[in-house]
Structure 1
């Protein structure tokens, strides 16, 4: 009888632990939205295309009036130059309230190499849970799961390490 009680207690502890893990880590289980959009050059993009190519994606919502966005932009550009040849994609989503001419001017002035998308009707922001604050970031693994969600500036070293782990042993470009 004691063995049976021990087994039941262990099962209950495991069940509670699994439920607690599910409750406190929803971002690791949440699928990224299956959305398509066009970058500022008019080229069609979709998150699904990167999953089919087994590539991680960092989606970053930003605005030209956001000091934190501007401060981290050089770091994102540096990360893109370093890791894009190994498979990383970064997509910058300009918020609906940001005038398109301001976005385009900043893109040119800062020489942003990664795709920029104008979210004029807030469709992309709504697809990601109604993003309102900038910067807001979503790191999506190659299987299409959101593995990191951050409102505010990123810890670049931490994000870089997570991306490198996803890229694994893929050879450098």
Structure 2
């Protein structure tokens, strides 16, 4: 019986040690040094937005999850842009530019919409292939969250508010 208790104690100690090691060894992933070109021709350098939280979302006009997210992105923009939040919606390379431009205008998207004609931004952000894929970038330029699929609006609001409080 004592050996069983000893082995259980050793196992628990190893499990706790592994948890502590994983918690302490989290690496900070910096956002790539990307410069986006919007559908209006404006250049936006991500490193020029340091000091602000930035939401970068990869999307496509034929993506149902992306369409579901757009009202939430508009809401986030309206509620947090004046407090510093920037949103850049990056249309995937396979999405025809004329579809992106028409969609952005028809839906009066208030945030920046960029094209990724050569998939360079998708590669820079870890070879993004699925839409929507969203990155929340902290004011220091590190990636706080990468979410594949539609994000939870309440969770995103909580995260953004925490970054804006700083």
Equivalent residues in 2 for 1:46-61, closer than 5 Å: 46-51=45-50, 54-61=51-58
How many residue pairs get aligned? The number is 153
2:53 and 2:136 in contact (8 A); partners too? yes
What is residue 3 of structure 1 aligned with on the other side?
none
RMSD over aligned CA atoms reads: 1.9
- Which residue is equivalent to 1:34? 33
TM-score (norm 1): 0.83
- 1:37-80 CA distance string (max 9 Å, x none): 211111110110110xx100000000000001001101111110
Structure 1, unaligned stretches of length 5 or more? 1-11
SS of 2:89's partner is strand
Whole-angstrom CA distance in 1 between matches of 2:31 and 2:121 = 11
Secondary structure, in 3 states, of the residue corresponding to 2:126? coil
Does residue 19 of structure 1 match 2:17?
A: no
Consecutive unaligned residues in structure 2, runs of 5 or more? 1-13
Which residue, 87, 90, 97 being the options, matches 1:90? 87
Native 8 Å contact 2:36 2:115 kept in 1: no
TM-score (structure 2 length as normaliser): 0.86
Runs of at least 4 residues off by over 6 Å:
12-15
